[in-house]
A and B are shown apart, each in its own frame.
Chain A
Amino acid sequence: MARIGVFICHCGENISATVDVMKVAAEAAKIPGVAHSVEYKYMCSDPGQQLVKNAIREKGLTGVVVAACSPRMHEPTFRRACAEAGLNPFLCEMANIREHCSWVHEKGDATTDKAIDIVRTLVAKVKKNKALQPIKVPVTKVAMVIGGGIAGIQASLDIANAGHQVILVEKEPSIGGHMSQLSETFPTLDCSQCILTPRMVEVAQHLNITLFSYAELESLDGFIGNFKARIRKKARSLDEKLCTGCGLCTQKCPSRRIPSEFDAGLGLRPAIYVPFPQAVPNKPVIDREHCTYYRTGKCRLCEKVCPTQAIRFDQQDEIVEADVGAVVLATGFDIKHGDFFPEYGYGKYRDVIDGLQFERLASASGPTLGEIRRPSDGRVPETVVFVACAGSRDPAKGIEYCSKICCMYTAKHAMLYKHKVHHGKPYVFYMDIRAGGKMYEEFVRRAMEEDGVQYVRGRVSRIFERGGKLVVKGVDTLLAARPLEIEADLVVLATAGIAQPGAEELAQKLHVSYDAHKFYAEAHPKLRPVETNTAGIFLAGACQAPKDIPESVAQASGAAAKVAALFSQSELVREPLIAVVDRQAPPVYSSCVGCFLCQSACPYQAIEKEEIRGRDGQLLKTVAKVNPGLCQGCGTCVAFCRTKSIDIQGFSHEQVHAEVLALLNRGERDA
């Protein structure tokens, strides 16, 4: 005979203000099988928990229902309390009378009745609960970091320094990401490469880090602690072990007029190239699309000049498999390109450039060696117009969000320009200046006050070219919205920060969720900002939303700490809320008919085939079996099973059925 204890929480006034908790407790006491029913102001408090423990011990309860908040809040609290009193924790259930009742209804009898109904269903359920034991799974203490920008570098180093193995996967030929392209960084104006390259070298030299550059994730299977990754190492057309990075091939390559990705299209590179001098690894790659040999079958000059015979024209992509316990996603962002601003002539006029291109112009390693020269004719621009919010906060162009970094980098650009071209006239068109951050506001003030950058409050309507100048038609809304016209030599658009082009595809490979703009979604916007909804996969940097370097680095260290915490134990304890296939005594053995529809439906490859044999070894039956390590308890197989042979522990057919019946038969006496 069941002896159920019901514990009604007031939650201060959160519940008791709209629900008559006394009546709920009184009504619950009348439910058959309920041996104990009390209410208390704060059930989650120490005295509250003590009430539960005492009742279990004194009344010999076989099940507990705590009617309080969502199980997402305090289920672990009460299950632990039950365990301490000697009751299997899975015999404790939460009846959510707060989020599902008191918070969403007015005070009244109907609200109280609903609370009673909720308690009734959970009592019916808990009567059918079975004692369950947690599942333990081993943890592979190897982390895979995807993306080798500053966020990925930081996460890799932090995890590696905690003593764990790291596999760093970078799709470009070198790590470094966008930060390696930047000239100086706000708000301190320190050289981006000077602070980044030591970290890059550290990655290369770290004994715990295995770097796969020019590589992409092919697939990821498994679950937290036990992922299986397949990584595609794209063919560099080079034997990396033989290559010494001498650079002869890149100097001799005859096909040299290819727009350099690193220089944002402003510089040129050969077909066999290293993206930039401090690249890690410092090994070239052949761009097969532009290489003369791959296009025409003739040339092979690089092969001839290579002193170590490292060139491999017939090299194929290679798939590497790795067992990893955790994944950090640090794939970064992109900026909006293309024919996105016809009214600004972006993509049409060569002197209308984006922020990343300006970084390359201002960078000592850039195509102009750090001199500000405009792309069309190489002249030093006398007047430069910077346009903030180019695409950001622009629902008409599909982007309603603020890209966050543009206010600061635009101030920096205007400042750098003024530092390099003393007589130059920089103008910034802006809507609002968002300079929240340590020393950020001071930085923007410095641009205005010390460097004389002219800030004009208004959005630019149009830019067109006239006699070698770019006519910028703007406005100052602080001057009675009078239209202004500026003849500029160069226009820099702070184009919106957007997700990487392949972000969606990668998210689907990893089963992580993403928002409407293809930025990866965190598990909770405030309290779980570095986790995804998929256990064991963490986020770092601008793949989650546009963010600057300090934020990316902070989040990367946060993700690394999460990984380190995960790796601090050799086994993971998981809730046993997984699928099980029916097993019975002979001669039935199982109601499973072996159709294996469940196997094709399972998203986690958790269903195996089991052969049931007689004593003589004769095959009696082939039935489905769930691998408890892989099963995530999603229930898809349950829905597919034609003979109702699969159940989810903790949410069995019987339990759910009992809950539904309790609702349907309310007011009547339970069976």
Chain B
Amino acid sequence: MRSEAHAHGVGAALSDRVREKTGVDVARCYQCGKCSAGCPLASEMDFPPSQVMHLLQLSAAFPELAEQALRSHTIWLCLTCEICYCRCPMELDIPAIMDALRHESLQQRKVNPRARDILAFHRAFLDSVKYTGRLFEMGQVVDYKLRSGHFLQDLLQAPWMFLVGKLHLLPERVRNRRQLARIFAKTLKARENRP
């Protein structure tokens, strides 16, 4: 690993971009680890939250560390439960940083392959919202199965849910769906630009 702080012409370091988007200055992190200690999923993560902060701290000097942060499984495992932010002695809004990293990871197509199912679920969710304005749970599940390939998962739950009246076969719809479509067109679709 060598320092390439000024060798790249790609603009600001990841830590600077994160600060611009979230207002959070990662230099304030003094690596106490309280976020990782309290994170419910730290043990599943390739980089627990405090390490993501450290990757960002060094991202200006070592661009490959920025790359590791963007390609990490962590950013997709983060549940936004806010416990890290709540207890951080330096009051760093780590969940906001995770959001910013996810957005950048998605735009740069650096999503960790292990996060495939999680991302498939989010996309299926938003697809449903895009077409109907509200979440159509049945439709979303079908969409998710198609995207993830987990066709058999939860197959036994559906009839029960249908029986107790929790699953509808037809979606509820927002009246002004065109307006919603415009919101999607100007936000997610415009940025993600996926095929």
Contacts and interface: CB of A to CB of B under 8 A. Distances in A.
6 contacts: A395-B91, A458-B32, A458-B34, A462-B38, A475-B50, A481-B42
Interface of B: 30-39, 42-43, 47-51, 83, 87-91
Given A395-B89, A395-B91, A475-B42, A481 B34 contact: no
Nearest to B52: A481
A483 B36 CA distance: 6
List 9 A-B pairs, minimum CB-CB distance, nearest first: A461-B38, A475-B37, A458-B33, A461-B37, A481-B48, A459-B34, A459-B32, A481-B36, A477-B33
A393 B32 CA distance: 10
A431 B30 contact: yes
Contacts of A462: 37-38, 87
A317 interface: no
Interface of A: 343, 389, 393-397, 431, 457-462, 473-477, 480-484
A481 B51 CA distance: 7
Contacts of B32: 389, 431, 458-459, 477
A258 B42 CA distance: 45
Given A458-B34, A461-B38, A475-B36, 12 more contacts: A395-B89, A395-B91, A396-B88, A396-B90, A459-B37, A462-B38, A473-B37, A476-B33, A477-B33, A477-B36, A481-B49, A483-B36
B41 to A, nearest CB: 10
A459 B91 contact: no
Given A431-B30, A462-B38, A481 B90 contact: no
A475 B30 contact: no
Given A431-B32, A462-B38, A475 B48 contact: yes
Contact of A395 (B43, B87, B90): B90
Contact of A458 (B37, B83, B88, B91): B37
A460 B34 CA distance: 6
Contact of B33 (A393, A396, A397, A459): A459
B37 A483 contact: yes
Nearest to B83: A461
B155 to A, nearest CB: 34
A483 B89 CA distance: 17
B91 A396 contact: yes
Contact of A480 (B37, B39, B48, B83): B48
A457 B91 contact: no
A66 to B, nearest CB: 45
Query: Max chain A CB contacts within 10 Å: which of B33, B42, B83, B88?
Result: B33
Contacts of B34: 458-461, 475
Nearest to B90: A395
A389 B90 CA distance: 13
Contacts of A459: 32-34, 37, 89
A343 B37 CA distance: 12
Contacts of A460: 34, 37
Contacts of A431: 30-32
A396 B89 contact: yes
Contacts of A389: 32
A473 B91 contact: no
A475 B33 contact: yes
A463 B36 CA distance: 14
A474 B50 CA distance: 13
Nearest to A457: B33
B69 to A, nearest CB: 14
A480 B51 contact: yes
Contacts of B33: 457-459, 475-477, 481
A343 B51 CA distance: 22
A570 B47 CA distance: 71
Contact of A482 (B31, B42, B90): B42
B93 to A, nearest CB: 12
Nearest to B48: A481
B42 A483 contact: yes
A458 B38 contact: no
Looking at A343, A459, A462, the one whose CB has the most chain B CB atoms below 10 A away is A459
Nearest to A393: B89
Nearest to B32: A459
Given A431-B32, A458-B32, A482-B43, A474 B37 contact: yes
Contacts of B36: 458, 475, 477, 481-483
Nearest to A399: B89
A458 to B, nearest CB: 4
B150 to A, nearest CB: 28
Contacts of A473: 37-38
Contacts of B88: 396
Given A475-B37, A482-B42, A461 B87 contact: yes
